[in-house]
Amino acid sequence: MEEKDVIDVEVKEEEINKKEEKPEKVKKEHKFLKTAGIIVACGVMGIGGGFAGAHLAMYIGSAAPKEVLYQSVIQTNADGSAVSGMTLADVAANVRDSVVEITTSKVETSPFFQQYITSGAGSGVIVSSDGLIITNHHVIDGATSITVRLANGEEYDAELVASDQQTDVAVIRIRATGLKPAVLGDSDELVVGEEVIAVGNPLGSLGGTVTDGIISALDREVTIDGQTMTLLQTSAAISPGNSGGGLFNTRGELIGIVNAKSSGTDVEGLGFAIPVNVVKDVAQDLIETGQVQGRLTLGISYLEISSLQTAQQYGVNVLGLYISEVSEGSNADRAGLQPNDIIIAVDNEQVTTSAELRSALNNHEAGDTMTFTVIRDRQYVELSVVLEA
């Protein structure tokens, strides 16, 4: 693989013959996801120990009990003094009960219109005592069932609270109480060379595995499943099955959700994590409203036409973003965008992928006007769209 900062990541899932019915609390063996090439991967841990400082309390629904989503963080010893650092063994022991393993099932359809079940494996971090868990979007994307296995071996069916593809963050919930949530740190305080550990579920069968390393870079641009994001880079070993897991500092604080690694010939020691400060904001929005607030929207649904093969499949002769739907009353609707339009440029810059469109949007704020060039009935049309959040 060519050495570069932007790394494409893909997951291959192992097919299984049939879907098993599971009660809410289950005891059984798992079938796990095997991956090759560049893989999405992570290690999960939660954190125990005393702590002091501010914490965020919130409600899920009007009748829901008060619960702590996350704590932010000055960890303390039993005598109340601040924790300056722990051994790796101390950290691993403290986070063990906040580590979960995740397995998923998904219904797929073959080119011959036959349905079959695929299974996948990942990890997650407990962030509330009553069952809220943070993982990656790509771990649960499209899953028809999600199972969570706790450190004590108990298993629960999980439900999806909400998920965000752009940041690769998802929140799921199990119906359990008395769980041990992780303590969240401050990823803005990290420095290159700082020692960290990842704890997770490599190969989907080795839950609780601990690996150590350092922070190798603080702001590495990485592309995962077409999503470009700025991630922490670490030398801690990351393996398949660790997606959605955690990266921790030596105070036992969660400082990142590990979501990718680069693997290939002679490639080692390249792991990536979503900074925990990003995860905090996204997770709170997902829990409170089901979506990330303040993000620019267009009010359109579209398909990527980024290759000649795709263009032939959809019967078009240009590359771009094929608009399949325009929400009535949206800013795109008011600007005149229509279904079957093909967006070929934004602000005079060619776009053929979702990542390119999002990159263009990220350079603007609500209230700005962007120029969209589309192909409509074999004619070029330019439209001005006022952006909204």
Assign 12 to helix, strand or coil.
coil
Element (H, E) at 47: none
CA distance 91 to 371: 52
Q: How many domains does the chain have?
A: 2
Residue after which a domain boundary falls, among 289, 313, 334: 289
Question: Residue 92 is encoded by which pair of tokens?
Answer: 């691993």
- Residue 80's CB is within 10 A of a number of other CB atoms, namely 8
Asked whether residue 226 falls in the same domain as residue 267, the answer is: yes
Element (H, E) at 365: none
The strand pairing partners of 210, in sequence order, are 199
Q: What is the CA radius of gyration of the chain?
A: 22
7 falls within a domain: no
4 falls within a domain: no
Assign 293 to helix, strand or coil.
coil
Question: Residue 69 is encoded by which pair of tokens?
Answer: 């989503």
- Is the pTM higher than 0.75? no
Asked whether residue 285 falls in the same domain as residue 314, the answer is: no
Residue identified by tokens 């080119």 is 111
Asked whether residue 137 falls in the same domain as residue 195, the answer is: yes
181 falls within a domain: yes
284 compared with 15, residue with greater pLDDT: 284
CA distance 153 to 156: 10
Question: Residue 159 is encoded by which pair of tokens?
Answer: 């439900």
Cβ atoms of 338 and 326 within 8 Å: the answer is yes
Give percent above pLDDT 70 in the chain: 74
Buried b (16+ CB within 10 A) or exposed e, 184-207: bbbbeebeeeeebbbbbbbbbeeb
Burial of residue 346 (CB within 10 Å: 0-12, 13-18, 19+) is buried
**CA distances from residue 82 to 39, 75, 140, 225, 288 in whole angstroms, order as listed:** 38, 6, 37, 41, 32
* Amino acid letter, residue 221: E
Asked whether residue 106 falls in the same domain as residue 250, the answer is: yes
Annotated catalytic residue within 97, 137, 138, 216: 138
Annotated catalytic residue within 119, 145, 243, 263: 243
Asked whether residue 224 falls in the same domain as residue 318, the answer is: no
| First-residue to last-residue Cα distance in the chain | 38
Q: Closest Cα to residue 226, out of 290, 285, 150, 141?
A: 141
**pLDDT confidence of residue 323:** 92
Asked whether residue 222 falls in the same domain as residue 353, the answer is: no
Asked whether residue 18 falls in the same domain as residue 127, the answer is: yes
110 pLDDT tier (thresholds 50, 70, 90): low
* Amino acid letter, residue 191: V
Asked whether residue 45 falls in the same domain as residue 159, the answer is: yes
**pLDDT confidence of residue 299:** 84
CATH code where residue 84 lies: 2.40.10.120
112 compared with 107, residue with greater pLDDT: 107
**pLDDT confidence of residue 46:** 34
138 is catalytic: yes
Asked whether residue 122 falls in the same domain as residue 55, the answer is: yes
Annotated catalytic residue within 164, 168, 285, 341: 168
* Amino acid letter, residue 206: L
- Per residue in 229-282, pLDDT (tens digit) is 889 999 998 887 788 998 999 988 999 998 876 655 455 668 899 999 999 999
237 falls within a domain: yes
Residue after which a domain boundary falls, among 256, 289, 322: 289
**Which domain does 164 fall in, by range?**
14-289
CA dihedral 153, 158, 160, 166 (to 10 degrees): 20
- Per residue in 183-214, pLDDT (tens digit) is 999 999 999 999 998 988 777 778 778 899 99
Cα of 231 vs its chain's centroid, Å: 12
Cβ atoms of 140 and 159 within 8 Å: the answer is no
Mean pLDDT of the region 16-40:
39
Q: Closest Cα to residue 137, out of 107, 159, 167, 157?
A: 167
**pLDDT confidence of residue 102:** 94
CATH code where residue 354 lies: 2.30.42.10
Residue identified by tokens 């073959």 is 110
168 is catalytic: yes
CA distance 325 to 212: 47
Cβ atoms of 132 and 159 within 8 Å: the answer is no
Cβ atoms of 181 and 126 within 8 Å: the answer is yes
